[in-house]
Amino acid sequence: MREGFRWDAQDAYLFDIDGTLLRCRDRIHVNSFLSSVRAVMGRDFSLDGVTLSGNTDPGILHDVFRLSELDEAHWQPHLEAILQRMRDDVAARRDDMKIDKMLGVDETLRYLQARGATLGIATGNLETIGWMKIEFLGLRHWFTFGGFSDRFPIRANMIAHATDTARTLTGPQASVCIVGDTPADIAAARANQLPTIAVATGSYTFEQLMEHHPDACATSLLALLAVPEQP
């Protein structure tokens, strides 16, 4: 915990989804990238070399095409059709999802809400896919709003938009904190002058996250709850 930072005293919190609130044990969302590209463009690509954790859905597609050395003029006109195909494909397989809730999620959300905080989502997922995962686990009622990647391939821009929404709901001077599990969450928060709580429940270890100097770092949300209340 950074000296002077009170993790539970912020006005609003923006929670990442994958690796932070939940873990998908299926590959429905991941497989939808390449199957949707194939359906729309009639071409096969690979996710080899593409960073998924901390990326955005449009950002992942950008990286797929970039690593394949495909000129933007060849894929950009198809991007929205590919994203829509992804939304449709994941929705069609909703009942096949296998998703686990991370330790301490309900307890943390209940605790922060009881303290008067506004709770939102800030994720690289497309909006319909992100809410689908949240609803699958029965978490939707905790969240007032969400920030998603449909219009924001760059995570920092999505965070900026979600922060504006949080302050519209909470107040123009509201303190907004990002909760995520990747260095990308920390970097996007820092780009917007926001504090970050990092949880080592995704692809990065506690030590790896600490290298990026979040304001608070915990092995899980449950461990964060165990931090003694500060005066």
* Exposure string for 46-66, b = 16+ CB within 10 A, e = fewer: eeeebebbbbbbbbbbbbbbe
Q: Are residues 32 and 18 in the same domain?
A: no
Asked if residue 5 belongs to a domain, the reply is no
Residue 88, Cβ density class (10 Å: 0-12 exposed, 13-18 middle, ≥19 buried): middle
Q: Are residues 125 and 139 both part of a single domain?
A: yes
CATH classification at residue 120: 3.40.50.1000
Residues 88 and 119 in one domain: no
Confirm whether 2 is domain-assigned.
Answer: no
pLDDT score for 230: 59
Residues 6+ apart with CB under 8 A from 163: 14, 147, 176, 192, 194
Q: Is the pLDDT of residue 231 over 70?
A: no
Percentage of the chain exceeding pLDDT 90: 98
Q: Are residues 75 and 18 in the same domain?
A: no
Distance (Å, rounded) from C-alpha 84 to C-alpha 206?
36
Are 198 and 84 in the same domain? no
**Which tokens in the block code for residue 145?**
């709003």
pLDDT of residue 228: 73
Question: Is position 231 within any domain?
Answer: no
Indicate the pTM of the whole model: 0.95
Coil vs helix vs strand at 148: coil
Task: Please tell me the predicted confidence (pLDDT) of residue 182.
Answer: 98
In a domain, 1, yes or no: no
Contact of 36 with 65, CB cutoff 8 Å = no
Q: What's the rounded mean pLDDT across residues 13-42?
A: 97
Q: Are residues 56 and 160 in the same domain?
A: no
Does residue 6 fall inside a structural domain?
A: no
How many whole angstroms separate alpha carbon 209 and alpha carbon 216?
Answer: 10
pLDDT at 220: 97
Q: Are residues 122 and 221 in the same domain?
A: yes
Q: Name the domain count of the chain.
A: 2
- Indicate the DSSP class of residue 227: S
Residues 36 and 125 grouped into a single domain: no
Q: Tell me whether residue 7 is in a domain.
A: no
**Domain presence at residue 169:** yes
Mean pLDDT of the chain: 96
Q: Verify that 92 and 116 share a domain, yes or no.
A: no
* Mean pLDDT to the nearest integer, 204-230: 93
E strand segments, the chain = 12-15, 22-24, 99-101, 118-122, 145-147, 176-180, 196-199, 216-218
Identify whether 4 is part of a domain.
Answer: no
Query: What is the model's pLDDT at position 227?
Result: 85
**Quick one: 43 and 141 in the same domain?**
no
Could you report the per-residue pLDDT of 40-53, keeping only the tens digit for each? 999 999 999 999 99
Tally of CA atoms within 13 A in the half-sphere of 89 that contains its CB: 21
What pLDDT is recorded for position 229?
67
Q: Do 115 and 77 share a structural domain?
A: no
The range of the structural domain enclosing residue 189 comes to 12-25+99-225
Same domain, 118 and 178: yes
Distance CA(170)–CA(174), nearest Å, equals: 6
Last residue of a domain, one of 96, 117, 148: 96
Q: How do residues 171-195 score in pLDDT, each as one tens digit?
A: 999 999 999 999 999 999 999 999 9
Q: Which of 96, 123, 147 is the last residue of a domain?
A: 96
Q: How confident is the model at residue 28 (pLDDT cuts 50, 70, 90)?
A: very high
Of 53, 75, 96, which residue sits at a domain end? 96
